[in-house]
Amino acid sequence: TQLLEQSPQFLSIQEGENLTVYCNSSSVFSSLQWYRQEPGEGPVLLVTVVTGGEVKKLKRLTFQFGDARKDSSLHITAAQPGDTGLYLCAGALSNFGNEKLTFGTGTRLTIIP
Amino acid sequence: DAGVIQSPRHEVTEMGQEVTLRCKPISGHDYLFWYRQTMMRGLELLIYFNNNVPIDDSGMPEDRFSAKMPNASFSTLKIQPSEPRDSAVYFCASSLVRGGEQYFGPGTRLTVT
């Protein structure tokens, strides 16, 4: 059983469109991170959210942490081909001392020029 | 800093052979993580160290897998004997603080035939 479920698993859209991907769990996380991974490379951190209801913006990317700290969303406005990649959410659980992250199942995003 | 360094980048071996993967974390980072990534199972945490001490190895698949961190600048993940189902990309990551951003290496793509 996956602790963090991401949806959709795959998403292919045209350049310029908007999209939202989701990260859901039944567990409460102390913090949640979003990573992007490009082919042949390791994941790279995009953002960390800590407070329930928190919203963070990174240029065209908007990240939201659910009020109950069980879920998160990533919204991309006017998608660009450079946004193509595997998006992973990762949560830190307080019962593990917040030392390790549990990664989600991932959303593989393709932006078509 | 050069980032997290992993070697080799690619490894092809026959079933039954011993495989050793190597990792040099970012200098000063107290946490080191070993992950395995496959299409079927996503990114799975195998083991992590804090100040060179193994903290949680509950993700290690079985006794064929072992990991060591003899000093702050070097860690190994060993598989003996290797099996075809071990084929995956293995990532090493390091972190400065508890629950903080994890910096991933480029990964080792392992193929066991």
B15-45 residue pLDDT tens: 999 999 999 999 999 999 999 999 888 999 9
Nearest residue on chain A to B98, judged by CA atoms?
A99
Give B-chain residues touching A44 at CB under 8 angstroms.
Answer: 104
pLDDT digits (tens, 9 = 90+) for A44-103: 999 999 999 999 999 999 999 999 999 999 999 999 999 999 999 999 887 666 678 899
Distance CA A87, CA A91 (A): 14
Any CB–CB contact under 8 A between A99 and chain B? yes
Alpha-carbon torsion (B91, A43, B95, A8), positive or negative: negative
pLDDT at A93: 80
pLDDT digits (tens, 9 = 90+) for B40-81: 889 999 999 999 999 999 999 889 999 999 999 999 999 999
Label residue B14 by pLDDT band (50, 70, 90): very high
Q: How far is A105 from chain B (nearest CA, A)?
A: 6
Render chain B in DSSP notation, one character per residue.
----EEE-SEEEE-TT--EEEEEEPPTT--EEEEEEEETTTEEEEEEEEETTEEEE-TT--STTEEEEEEETTEEEEEESS--GGG-EEEEEEEESSTT-PEEE---EEEEE-
Query: A13: helix, coil or strand?
Result: strand
The verdict on a CB contact (< 8 Å) between A99 and B48 is: yes
The verdict on a CB contact (< 8 Å) between A42 and B106 is: yes
Nearest to B50 among A44, A88, A99 (CB): A99
Q: How far is B105 from chain A (nearest CA, A)?
A: 6
Contact yes or no for B5/B104 (Cβ under 8 A): no
Label residue A2 by pLDDT band (50, 70, 90): low
pLDDT for A1 beyond 60: no
The verdict on a CB contact (< 8 Å) between A99 and B33 is: no
Any CB–CB contact under 8 A between A85 and chain B? no
Pairing of strands B10-13, B108-112: parallel
| Residue in B5, B43, B96, B109 to test binding to A, most A beta-carbons within 10 Å | B43
Give B-chain residues touching A104 at CB under 8 angstroms.
Answer: 42
Render A58-69 in DSSP notation, one character per residue.
ETTEEEEE-TTS
Any CB–CB contact under 8 A between A43 and chain B? yes
Residue A45, both tokens:
């951190």
Q: How far is A101 from chain B (nearest CA, A)?
A: 7
